[in-house]
């Protein structure tokens, strides 16, 4: 009995020792985890501090209304090349308050009707309500047109539709909805840039050549 009792005591002591070591290791791991969490939280607080967030928001807001942003937007909307994008930005950096109609002529329409026909349509846009001696497109480029009012662009569209109906097509949405029986190739893809303040511009896709 004494030997068994001694063995039992030894086993209990050995178990207790191992248990203490186990809990010590667990405690050590928990401490390291807490330290890591503290570091991560401090880094998160720095990266998401109000001043940091405000700075990013201010940068985004300041860029959003710039001529550069508007030119980038139009390039993305209608597929201008880099040279055209730069020319457009230069136009937007000018001090006038005009709304701009920006076109990218559709090569598929040119293949059917010819370049001369396209030039005839864009020349009529350029001379709309300004007379033969003046043009809305500076340097006669036939793709950036200045309008004093955005509403004048809609009036110009009505005029062009009446005089050059072949330049217009169903919109992509109408084609997708199954409408048939009309031209599906527009003369050009269009965007409008509105002035919303001094050196502030807002660009949007335009359905100028869509019915």
Per-residue model confidence as pLDDT tens digits over 74-93: 999 999 999 999 999 998 88
φ/ψ of 144, rounded to 5, equals -120, 115
φ/ψ of 135, rounded to 5, equals -140, 155
Per-residue model confidence as pLDDT tens digits over 3-58: 445 544 444 445 455 544 544 554 554 555 455 444 444 443 434 444 433 443 34
Integer angstrom CA distances of residue 115 from 120, 122, 127, 198 = 9, 11, 18, 37
Q: Calculate the average pLDDT of the chain.
A: 78
The pLDDT of residue 147 is: 94
The pLDDT of residue 93 is: 86
> Domain limits of the chain?
2-48, 60-206
Average pLDDT over residues 61-83: 89
């Amino acid at each position: 009995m004494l030997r068994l009792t001694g063995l039992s005591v030894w086993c209990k002591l050995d178990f207790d020792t191992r248990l203490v070591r186990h809990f010590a290791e667990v405690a050590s791991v928990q401490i390291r985890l807490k330290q890591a969490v503290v570091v991560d939280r401090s880094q998160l607080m720095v990266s998401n501090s109000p001043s940091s967030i405000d700075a990013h928001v201010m940068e985004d807001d300041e860029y959003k209304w710039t001529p550069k942003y508007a030119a980038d937007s139009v390039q993305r909307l209608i597929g201008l090349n880099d040279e055209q994008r730069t020319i457009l930005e230069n136009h937007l950096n000018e001090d006038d308050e005009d709304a701009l109609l920006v076109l990218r002529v559709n090569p598929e329409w040119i293949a059917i009707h010819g370049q001369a026909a396209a030039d005839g349509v864009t020349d009529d846009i350029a001379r709309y309500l300004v007379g033969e001696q003046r043009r809305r497109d500076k340097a006669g480029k036939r793709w950036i047109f200045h309008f004093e009012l955005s509403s004048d662009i809609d009036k110009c569209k009505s005029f062009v539709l009446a005089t050059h109906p072949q330049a217009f097509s169903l919109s992509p949405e109408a084609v997708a909805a199954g409408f048939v029986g009309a031209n599906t190739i527009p003369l050009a893809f269009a965007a409008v840039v509105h002035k919303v303040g001094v050196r502030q511009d807002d660009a949007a896709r335009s359905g100028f050549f869509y019915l």
